[in-house]
Amino acid sequence: MSHEDIPISTTLNLPHCGIVQTYGGGDENKVGQLIYKKYIYTPHRNTDIMTDFKKKIYKLAKKTWRSYSKIALNDRVVSVPNEFPLMDDIEWDVVFVVSAGIKDVEHYNMMFQGWLFNKEVQEPNRLGVSSWPFIGVFDPVNIFIKSENDQYMGIEKLVPADQHTHFVTETVNLDGFDVELGDWHFGSDMARFYTDKEIPIAGGWVVIFDCERKKCGIEYLIVLENQDIKKTLLKESTNNIETFVNKLMTLIEEVTMEDKNIIIENLKKVIQKE
């Protein structure tokens, strides 16, 4: 079993995984501090542990694709390919991510631009790219939505979510000289979810299925709303995922919250041997 670190997209400066953010448009975006990120398994390699879950995700993704592919092209907002990929053609990433919550925001958005667009943004003269992957969370604890519309992440299902990035330039006067600066901006205000910030921890299997690129990301996500737990884990500077997860489980055992055992059981799957 392999637990390599998840790389960072050098162009976007985003990790190749989902991150917790609150979309505000341009420079108003707020990103949760990444505390830990590792591949649970070697990328693109099937494992017995995840086989049944992958089959479930594939069926749900096909169901979502079918419902949107029936819409006439001229009436279609969500972009989906004409054909659904074969199960054997899907590349799978299975990862473990721990993020801090974000203060003074009402909701979060899941953002996967670093995972989706790392190759495209490196193309010469590329100024933007967008996609409509399907996103949802499974076995959630303290992760919920307030509406069933497509602005929100699916709960135990997959729904389309606009994910895009575009290059923005501006001219700034520095010491009397006009200098053109550029940066990649990313959004949008979709794949929304909420946590109860009075509860110290949130967790769930966040899934992104990209029909166009024929790949799927499965991410066990922990969001830490408790500052003391966050500070303790930031001091746990270890590359050993078993050591880190065991420390996290010990901290969870000490807090009072409903359904914490669901998170603990899923964390055991994160470090489960093949």
Q: pLDDT tens, 149-204? A: 878 999 999 999 998 786 777 777 777 787 776 676 777 889 999 999 999 999 99
Tens of pLDDT, residues 54-106: 999 999 999 999 999 998 878 888 889 999 999 999 999 999 999 999 999 99
For residue 98, how many C-alpha atoms fall within 13 Å in the half-sphere facing its CB?
A: 24
Residue 133 pLDDT > 90: yes
DSSP 182-212: EEEEEE-S-SEEB--TTSSEEEEEEEEEETT
**Percent of the chain with pLDDT strictly greater than 90:** 58
- Write the DSSP symbol of residue 27: G
* Number of neighbours of residue 255 by Cβ within 10 angstroms: 13
Predicted pLDDT at 123: 77
Q: What is the mean pLDDT of residues 114-140?
A: 86
Predicted pLDDT at 121: 76
H/E element holding 21? strand 19-22
Predicted pLDDT at 73: 79
- pTM for this model (two decimals): 0.90
Task: Delimit the domains of the chain by residue range.
Answer: 8-270
> What mean pLDDT, rounded, does the chain reach?
88
